[in-house]
Structure 1
Amino acid sequence: MLDFKNNSSLTCKASPRSSPVSFKKSLFQLLKSEWQTVKEHNPSIQNGLEMLLCYPGFHALILHRGAHWLYRRNLFLLARLISTLNRFLTGIEIHPGAMIGERVFIAHGLGVVIGETAIVGDGTLIYQGVTLGGTGKEKEKRHPTLGKNVVVGPGAKVLGNIEIGDNVYIGTESVVLRNVPENSLAIGIPARIVYSPFGTEIGLSRELQPDLEAQTIKYLFERIKELEAQIESLKAEVNASSIEIKEDVTRKSNLLIEEFLDGAGI
């Protein structure tokens, strides 16, 4: 269940949802799913041998599956050794305790860091330079939980024990510190939530990934128009008040002149 208490800008109520990570598949089935995911969503791959030898995101997930399997059986040192080897070979650091769902795709991958208690939902797309880390304030669950079909843009940072809903897009270089509801955008430093009509299936489809720059410019343009309208309204009110004051001064001046001419004197 998403907790929106930490985000005063949200008024919607959280609704319960299923776990973002599939637990029913075997290790072999997960590896097969990853193989198919990379083939489907990376058009530059020429053949299976190239993918097997030359794609660090795929290598990182394979090694993590093995490390996580050992970690769940309390073989912590061996699991950590594999994760260290993973970082050395791929430039991707995934703690063996992190829970990663199926059909997850790490694009490019260099500089990706995923913490021990992080949960990455099925169908998530993670670009290079992403950090799913902690803030140093929590003790137990201290890393984020990502829902299904989340897209985390290059260089984005998702920090702390927060929940990211299904079908969320986190913009490039954004820093997310609060919960994000499903079917929405989170952009900026710190990230602000922008609702969008994505529907319910974003997945890895490039066609449905928003043009963040265009949307930001559009939002700023609309905001400028609103402010200009407010300024014009204030000008009209000020002008109306000035006219009333001038008319009142003129009327009082005329009244004083009339009284003087009628003999009231000084």
Structure 2
Amino acid sequence: MTFKEFLALVKSDIDLKKHWFLKNDTPFNKNVRVWLEPGTIAVVVYRFGHWTNHVKVPILKQLLRLIYILGKSVVVLGFGIYIPSRFKMGKGLAIHNFSGIFIPPTTAGDNLFVFQNVTIGHLRGQGGRPPKIGNNVFLGAGAKILGDITIGNNVVVGANSLVMNDVPDGCTVVGVPARVVSKETTWIQEKLDGVGDHW
């Protein structure tokens, strides 16, 4: 990953957050305040850390990793958000609220929406493999995604739901344990149409 690619990913994250949460907000909130929100800072620090993994010059890499570790410490201790630099995420990561968010070193596609108290983790006895997340996935507040499972594309996980089984594309799941309540979830893609055409 080049530095230019790192900047492009950060831009995709900010554009997504503006379009989804701040589309009708004031110019100040869309262009200044958005950069000061804990969720945005956490995403930028994660993207920076992921980029430093690809730096080739050893001395420069160590210096950049030190900066990343300091930034990550602020994000974890100050905001309660844990996203490791080994997490592989496509473009468009939006964390709207903060606190109690845990994401392991797993993989996710484009456009992931995360609210407060979301946990993505592995289960003992499954080889430590965490869930894999598809494109256009919305994780409501308090959602728990656990185990060696796959969350498909265009999936909504309702608030406080516990997901321990695969979720097919286009589904909305709610409850403990989560159950499918809709197999025709299209509103995420519809709302995303037109976002990031310039990415």
Aligned counterpart, 1:38: 17
Q: 1:131 aligns with which of 119, 122, 126?
A: 119
Within the candidate set 73, 84, 91, 1:95 is matched to 84
Counterpart mapping for 1:212-223 below 5 A: none
State the partner residue of 2:150: 163
Whose Rg is larger? Answer: 1
Unmatched segments (≥5 aa) in structure 1: 1-22, 207-266
For 1:196 and 1:45, how far apart are their aligned partners in 2?
36
What is the TM-score normalised by the length of structure 2? 0.78
Determine the C-alpha separation between the residues in 2 that align with 1:150 and 1:123.
7
Paired residues for 1:1-266 under 5 Å: 26-43=5-22, 44=25, 46-47=27-28, 48-53=31-36, 55-72=37-54, 78=66, 80-116=69-105, 118-139=106-127, 142-199=129-186, 202-203=188-189, 205=191
Q: Secondary structure at the match of 2:159?
A: coil
- Whole-Å separation in 2 of the counterparts to 1:80 and 1:73: 15
On the 8 A contact 1:115/1:132 being kept in 2, the answer is yes
The residue type paired with residue 98 of structure 1 is: F
Q: Secondary structure at the match of 2:188?
A: coil
Q: Following the alignment from structure 1 to structure 2, what is the Cα–Cα distance between the partners of residues 163 and 45?
A: 38
Distance 1:45 1:177 in 2: 40
The whole-number CA distance in structure 2 between the counterparts of 1:129 and 1:111 is: 4
**Deviations 1:175-197 (CA, angstroms, capped at 9, x unpaired):** 11111100012211111223332
Structure with more strand by fraction: 2
Contact (CA 8 Å) 1:124, 1:204: kept in 2 or not?
A: no
Contact persistence 1:67–1:82 (CA under 8 A): no
Partner secondary structure for residue 194 of structure 1: strand
Distance 1:113 1:45 in 2: 31
Sequence identity (%): 30
The count of residues paired between Structure 1 and Structure 2 equals 179
Structure 1 residue matching 2:8: 3-state secondary structure: helix
Contact 1:91 1:109 in 2 (8 A): yes
Q: Quick one: distance in 1 between partners of 2:113 and 2:18?
A: 14
Question: Residues 172 and 180 of structure 2 are in contact (CA less than 8 Å); yes or no, is this contact kept in structure 1?
Answer: yes
User: Residue 155 of structure 2 contacts residue 185 of structure 2 at CA under 8 Å; is this kept in 1?
Assistant: no
Q: Which structure is higher in RCO with an 8 Å CA cutoff and minimum separation 6?
A: 2
Q: Quick one: distance in 1 between partners of 2:93 and 2:172?
A: 19
Q: Secondary structure at the match of 1:26?
A: helix
Task: Specify the alignment match of 1:255 in structure 2.
Answer: none
Structure 2: tracts of 5 or more residues without a match: 193-199
Q: Which runs of 4+ in 1 moved over 3 A?
A: 71-82, 203-206
Deviations 1:87-139, CA, capped at 9 Å, x for gaps: 123321112211122122111122111012x2222112111110011112233
